[in-house]
Structure formats: structure tokens, C-alpha cells
Chains A and B, each alone.
Chain A
Amino acid sequence: MRPHLTIKDHFRETKLFNFRAITSVLVSALLMVVIIARLIYLQVVDHELYATLSEDNRFHIRAIPPTRGLIYDRNGILLAQNFPTYALEITPERVKNIDETLQALAELITIDESDLSRFKRELKRNRPFKAIPIRTRLSDEEVARIAVNRHRFPGVDIAAELIRHYPHGGLGVHAIGYVGRINEKEKQLIDESDYDGTDYIGKTGIEKFYEDILHGHVGVAQEETNATGRRLRVIEQVPSEPGTNLRLTLDAKLQQVAEEALGDHRGSVVAIDPNNGNILTLTSTPVYDPNLFVTGIDRKTYQELRNSEDLPLFNRALRGRYPPGSTIKPFVALAGLELGVVKSEVSTHCPGWYRLPGDRHRYRDWKKQGHGAVDLDTAIVQSCDVYFYDLANTLGIDRLARFLFPFGFNYKTGTDIFGELAGLMPTAQWKRKNRGEPWYAGETLIAGIGQGYTLVTPLQLAHSTAIIATYGKRMKPRIVGALENANTGETKAIFPIEESSVTVQNKENWDKVLIAMERVVHFWRGTAYRAIGQDAPYKIGGKTGTAQVFSVKQDEEYDEEKVDERLRDHALFIAFAPVDAPKIAVAVIVENGGHGGSTAAPIARKVMDYYLLELEKMDFSESVAKKTS
């Protein structure tokens, strides 16, 4: 390149350049001022705002969910525990495209329809920073597969969580209940902050009744996190308080015996220690596996349970309302004696039927040919219906009902298991109120033999049995015997609650009824003699019962063979033993079991045998083993 040799006006050029140079410095300085103004705005004027935002970035409050209290039986056998599992959670605000993420995840692990629909439901009602589980109970392989692909899924995390587990499956499920995911309704009842980080809540049974103390109290950790939400350090922490462990009065082994004794029958066994109201067993069959409900049951299994004719989900022990049948007779007899309507030594003639004056209707005895001359003892031992028709008729429904109320009839026992229903002991007033009709005398008759409107639950029947067995001592049935502090292991016994006793004017009346109940089992003509009485190694007081499921028409025969199994009578049996100093009171109901004596009594016997013979033997041998070791 050769330089041009043109004449230039250097002076003008330089002047021009200098002017431009000064201009550019001034413009640059002006831009600097703009920058500084903006910085003053950010760093001085709005400093507070950004400082707060910065702290918000750094610090997160994380809830530390408490560990749910454990449930033990009376001997320390674990009935409900917490099992560590892995769940896959998605934090919506950290995921760009949730649908795509779900699709990609579905290629790695199985995510079925119910998982998806539950997730979408939760997605709508939770705030975007809250992690929502998409799958629970991941297998080890699934955890590994997610872990390897984690970089692909920001906002998707594997969370370890403790899941309720019932190691014995269905054993005692109707007493223990189960936990499940918190639903919308429950959310309104609980203090949501206390359930932060907890997905489960007691749904029924003990799990629900004792929810408050089983749950414990949530803890919080204030943590410093980085942009990806990784925990860097804990600034401050208030540890969670674990829920209280429950020690039940229930005996798991006895529970098993009761469930096995019921076998394939639909029915219920409730056994109570009359001295303190301790529920020893509370059985309703068929049982179901509560573990199915914990993380959400799938629709199909639920429908199967729901639609099963055997109604496994139905808690017969607490909610089954059955006519007590003849098991009510000892109570009615005591009413007759106490209110002076009958005398124990005076006999009535039983022709096999009873007729009210001015009525042609024949109220039949279960024994067609009749019992002949029947006194109170025979009426109970042989379960004569006619004797009680007459007694009830003389007594009247209101007097009868008022006498039976203190024995627990018509009321909830108030036990500490969620879901109990009350039975029904009708009065004339009740009928007017609820049916809009007057009381008919005939209805008093059948009330006298535990039919008609009268209804009891197995729990209430066992409770009533315990009251009659102990001359009116009323111990409120309860299933939690002690509370254990999960941190210290300190155990605090819960004292039994004694309610005002049932008092009688003449204790001999009571003796007579109890002697008759003993003879039901041990006298050769007793209705339970053949089934359980002849070889009983201890004294049992009892009463059989048979409750009609459908009414037999006037001139029809009740033929057990012909009647559909489902329409057969319910078999009932109440018992207490040993008679001298009762340790156990039992009520057994076998749906469509036929006769109380042959079907229900052996079940009660097995429960009592195990409790009075096997358990004591075992306790003895165990204590011996302890001493020798």
C-alpha cells in the first residue's frame, strides 16, 4: 500500500476528532450515570426487597414429620409399625413440562392409571412448591433406575418415607383399623401445619380414635439450600415429637384363636375382662388386609372387598346390630324378679305357644310340643319362650327397657375404638317417635325373647354379659391399656373407668339368674350342655340365643334344611367364666349359624379355654423360663 499524497486539512480533521472524542466521553459518562442510577435504585432504594428475596432463596422451612406411634398387644406383640419405603415425588414448580416428565418416567417404572389420577388430583389442590408423590413403595430396582436417570428429571426426587405396616395383616383389623392418605374432608378437621410432611391419617379403629396421640407433633428445620434445592446445612431445628405408642389390652394370640374359631363363618367374637373392662379380643370375620389401604387401594381390589357378599369391610363387632334372641333372657329374668313380676319358685305352664287375651294370634315357643311346667330356672336353662312372653307381658315394655338400659342396652359402650354404633332397646315412646305408631302388646312379647326391635352389637352384648356376671359392676370397655412414650420408653397405665354400678334390691335374685346361666352349660338339659358343658374343666355361665333373620309365617314350619343359608337364623352365645370369679365375658354371634348352642357356644369355649387354660399355662412356663435362665 502506498500512502496517498492528498492534501488534507489536518487542523480541521483534528478539531473534528477532538470534538467527537469529547462527545463520546460525555455520552459514555452519561451512560455510566444511567448505570449508577439503576444501581442506586436496585441496591439502595429496593435493597430491602431484594435482601428479603435473597433470604427466601436461601432458606427453606422444611417440616419434619413425626414418627407415628406403634401399637402393641398386651404382651408386646407388634401390631402396627412403620416401615421404611421409597416414594417418587414430583415438585411441580421445578418441572418444566409435567406431562412429558410423567411420560418419560412411565418408561422407567410402572405408573398406572390410579397413580396418575391421584397425582393429578393432588396437583390441583397443592401449591406448586409442594412435592407430590407419583408412586409409592418403589422396588429397589426402580429406585436404582430412577437414580441413574436422575439428571434427566429435575424436580423429581426419591423420598424415603415411613409407611404404616400391619405385620399380622388382617389380625385384629376391625379393632386396630388402618391409616390411609389424608382426604379433603379430613384436611378440614386437622391442623394442617401439624400434618405437614405427613400423608397418612388414621381412618378407622384405634388408628382413628387415637389419631391425636399416635400422630405426634411435627418438627421444623430451617435449612439453607442452593438453587437446586439441595440441603446445605440446617440453621435451626425443632425436632418432631414422635407419636405415643399404644399398649392394647387386646391379646393377639387370643385374637387369632377367636378368628380361627369363627373360621369361615361371618360373625363376631368380643371378649372382655369384666373386672376392668379390658377388651381381650374384638373379632369380626371375614377380615381383610389393612396394608392394602395404606398407600391407596386399587379400584379393583376395593370393589371386590366392597361388593363381597360376606362384607369383610363391615365391622360386625362394633357396628353389627343383631337381635339378641334368647341371650337377653337372663336380663329379662332379673328384671322380672327384681320388679316382682315373677317368683323363682312359681311355675308357668308352657304348651308350646302363648296367646294374648282377646287375640287369636299364637306366639310360638321354639319347642313345638312345649316345656310343660316351667319355673324361672328352667325357663333360662331350657330357654323357654312362653315363660318370657308372659313375664314381658306382665312387666310391660317400658319397665323392661328401663331395667335393661343400665346393662348397656340401647347405648354405646363408649369404648375407645372409632366407629361404634349403639344397639336399640325399644320403648313405647321410641316407637311413637320413630315409627309414628302406638306400641302393641305383641311387640312386648317378642321383646321379651330378644326379637322384634331389640338390637345389640357384639361389643355391647359382651359388655352386658360382663355386667351381669359381676353383679352389676360396670367397667367401660377399653382397648388401650397403657401409653408408652416413644422417646423415653416410659409407660403410663390407663386406669380402667368404672361407671355407676347396677344395683338390685335383692342380691338373691341375681344369684338365681347366675345359677341358671351356669346350669345352661353344666346341667344335662341345658341348651349348651352338649356343645360345651359336659367336658368343661371350669365353671361357665352362659346363655344361648337364636335370632330370626326372617319371620316365619303363622302356620309355617321353620325347616333348617330348606332355608337358604343366608336366611338361616343367627346363632348367639354369651358366657362368662369362671363363674365364681369371672375373668372373661364373651359374646359370640355367628351370622346364619343356626343354633346358638351348637354353633356359637363352641367358639366361645375355645376363646375361654385359650384365655383361662393356655395363656395361664404359658404365662407360668414363661415366668419359669425367665427365672431359670
Chain B
Amino acid sequence: MSLFDSSLSDFSQVSRTQPNAWHVDLPLLLGLLILAVTSMFVLYSSSGQNVDLLWRQAIRFSLAFVLMVALAQIHPDILKRWVLWVYVAGVILLIGVILFGDVGKGAQRWLNLGLFRFQPSEMMKLAVPMMVAWYLSEHSLPPDGKRIFIAFLIIITPVLLIAKQPDLGTALLIAGAGFFVLFFAGIGWRLIVTIVGIGAACAPIAWYLMHDYQRQRVITLLNPESDPLGAGYHIIQSKIAIGSGGLFGKGWLNGSQSQLNFLPERSTDFIFAAFAEEFGLLGVLVLLIVYLFILVRGILIAAQAQDTFTRLVAGGLIMTFFTYVFVNIGMVIGLLPVVGVPLPLISYGGTSIVTIMASFGILMAIHTNRKLLPR
């Protein structure tokens, strides 16, 4: 522990928020609550006024909020102590998934632990950036070549295991999370450009390794009309929903695309289209502002963090969160291929809510412990 960690942070001057009794960061909580309430409204409409579904989502939100608050109480040092073991356990579980996993929707992602089914890849969304942060924070930054290489191995191992399930979307997002930590650790721009370059060069190889349905998604992105009732259906109907929403939207419960089942996955991955149809461009702008607010708040928390580890963790987690937002919206508006990524905290579905709220719990813990020592 260094005496000077937080006193030298520029951003620490900006925020003077005192840690409260619950260790909950109020601005962040406000942003998350807005998203949760929005989610309930959009789901009520997109599910066809399915109150049961709404209850289930509400219960998930409640549990996830409880988990977030619980995690906020844990001192980052404890996380730091545990992260290696969590990471190792995660890798073992991923191997277990490949050997014994349940098949769901054509991919092995679930591990049946008797009482409940569990997706180890979700856990790795938190464990990978934290592991990289822990490894890099042991030494002074920016990391040297050898450290970068080992960090790369830390990232690539679970990523390959997840890609093999196959769940390319999650694998890429986890790789991204690890990369963000490296980025915040200060790896050189030249290296960043090289990595991006290698990534681009690998595209043909990736194409070769892709499953048919994955290739189809890429083709669909490039030309949705090639198969209007098959693979392109999602994206065409999604664009129709968004475009027909216009500036002001069709109004809550009035989105014909989503109300009449034209829009597929309208409560899960494509919920953004349902939202855009009913609330229009203005509604979307408000939603994006909320996301941006959460992002900026997260970055501030990272900047004010007490030490290198927490700083990297906070930066990595908040950027991962934003990546989710961008990838999901990008997919729904036809900028990116269709990958199974939910819109954070709006889409229906438990796993992602829990993971995301857990990451915000960690962020809050980092923030509340930023000034362990007086300046």
C-alpha cells in the first residue's frame, strides 16, 4: 500500500462525495435504478403485458441489487486476495463445461451444479479483467513485454475455452475486458495498433474457424435482404421497428412491430428496437445519456481509486459495461453482426443482470474505500 496513491489523483479533487454507511455510490445507484425502471416499462410492453415475466425480472433486479450492495461492503484488498483463485476456478469450470456441460440453444454454456445451472463464462467476465489487473498492478506500469505476454496468456486461455463452447460473442467481450485493463495499464500505442492489426489480419482465419451460423450472421449484417425470412429477418424487422419509431416514437404499448410479434427476441437481445420503436429518437437519446452518465461516473471512480489494482479493475469493468451497450445497440441497428449480447440492465434475463450488478458492486466498493488514508 502506498501512502500517495489517492493524494496524487487529479480526479480526486473533483468529487467530494463522502462514503455513506451502506458504501453505496448514489449517482451510480441513481443511474442503475433509472435503467431498471425503464427495463420494467419496456418489458411490460414488449412482452405483451406479461405481468409474470415482469415479476420474475423484478425479483432478479432485487436479488442483483442485494448482491451489488453486498459486494460494495467487501474491501478491494479481499478481492485482490481472492482473484487468482476465482480465476483458476473459473478456468477449471470452463474445462468442465466443455467436458460435461449442458447444451442449450446449440452451444454448451451451462454447467449443471445440481441445484442450479451455472454459466462459468459469466463469472469470467469479472474474473478476467480483475486477474489481469492484479497481475499487472504488482509491478510498476506500464508493463514490460514479458508481463504483457503473460497478461495476454491470462486473457486468451478462458477466451479460447469460451469460444470453443461455442460462444464467440462472450469470448470477444471477455477478451475486450482484458484488453481494456491492458489499455489502462498503459501499454504502448504502437502495441495497441499492432494488436488491432493482427486482429484484422486474423479475420479470414476467424472466418474459416467460424460455425455456419456465425458466418451467416456476418453475411446477414452485410446484406440482410439476402435472406429476408431467415437469418436476415431479425435485422430487417429490427430496422423496421426502429425506423418506424421516428423522432418521437409510437408511444408506450403502441409499437406494432413488437406488440404484434414481428420483432424477434424483442424482450431480450432486441429490446433496444422495441424501445426505439415506442419512444423514438428522443427516448433513445435519453437512454444513451443515462448510459453515458454511468460510464463517466465509472471512469471517475476509476480515476479516484486508491491503488493501481482497483484503478485498473474499475476502468476495465466500466469499459466492459459500455462495450456491452455498444455491441448490443450496434447489432440491433445493423452496424455489427448479430451476437447474443443483451442490452445491459434493460434486456430480460437473469445472468447478465447479476454479473453487471456485481461489477457495479465492486465499483462501489472501490469508490467507498478510495480514501482509506487521509490525504
Contact = CB atoms under 8 A, between A and B. Distances in A.
Most A C-beta atoms less than 10 A away, residue of B81, B246, B276? B246
Interface string A52-73: 0110011000000000000000
A106 interface: no
A1 interface: yes
28 contacts: A1-B81, A8-B140, A8-B141, A17-B302, A18-B9, A18-B10, A18-B11, A20-B315, A21-B11, A34-B335, A35-B326, A35-B330, A35-B335, A36-B285, A36-B288, A39-B276, A40-B281, A43-B243, A43-B284, A53-B240, A54-B240, A54-B244, A54-B257, A57-B257, A57-B260, A58-B262, A227-B260, A227-B261
B240 A16 contact: no
A34 B334 CA distance: 12
Interface in A1-34: 1, 3-4, 6-11, 13-18, 20-21, 24-25, 28-29, 31-32, 34
A32 B292 contact: yes
Nearest to B312: A17
Interface string B238-272: 01111111110000000011001110000000000
A237 B128 CA distance: 61
Interface of B: 1-2, 4-5, 8-11, 80-81, 84, 138-142, 180, 183-184, 186, 229-230, 237, 239-247, 256-257, 260-262, 276, 280-281, 284-285, 288, 292, 295-296, 299, 302-303, 308, 311, 315, 319, 322, 326, 329-330, 333-335
Contacts of A25: 295-296, 299
Contacts of A49: 243
A355 interface: no
A437 interface: no
A232 interface: yes
Given A1-B81, A17-B186, A54-B257, A43 B299 contact: no
A21 B246 contact: no
A567 to B, nearest CB: 66
A42 interface: yes
B141 A43 contact: no
Contacts of A31: 326
B336 to A, nearest CB: 11
A42 B257 contact: no
A46 interface: yes
B1 A3 contact: yes
Instruction: Assign chain A's interface to a size class.
Output: 35 or more
Contacts of B302: 17, 21
Given A16-B142, A25-B295, A43-B281, A50 B229 contact: no
Contacts of B333: 35, 38-39, 42
A17 B256 contact: no
Q: Which of A20, A36, A42, A96 is packed against the most chain B CB atoms within 10 Å?
A: A42
A42 B183 CA distance: 33
Interface of A: 1, 3-4, 6-11, 13-18, 20-21, 24-25, 28-29, 31-32, 34-36, 38-40, 42-44, 46-47, 49-51, 53-54, 57-58, 93-94, 96, 224-228, 232
A6 to B, nearest CB: 6
B186 A20 contact: yes
Contacts of A57: 237, 240, 256-257, 260, 262
B366 to A, nearest CB: 13
Nearest to B299: A21
Contacts of A15: 10
B312 to A, nearest CB: 8
Given A20-B315, A31-B326, 14 more contacts: A1-B80, A4-B139, A9-B140, A14-B10, A17-B303, A20-B186, A24-B180, A25-B296, A28-B322, A43-B243, A44-B246, A47-B243, A50-B243, A57-B260
Contacts of A13: 140-141, 186, 308
A9 B296 CA distance: 26
Given A44-B247, A225-B260, A10 B5 contact: yes
Contacts of A38: 333-335
Contacts of B180: 24
Nearest to B10: A18
Which of A38, A40, A46, A57 counts the most chain B CB atoms within 10 A? Answer: A57
Nearest to A225: B260
Given A28-B295, A54-B241, A17 B8 contact: no
Contact of A54 (B1, B142, B256, B308): B256
B304 to A, nearest CB: 10
A29 B319 CA distance: 12
Contacts of B239: 42, 50
B186 A32 contact: no
Given A1-B81, A4-B138, A39-B276, A24 B299 contact: yes
A263 to B, nearest CB: 61
Contact of A94 (B183, B229, B257, B285): B229
A16 B230 contact: no
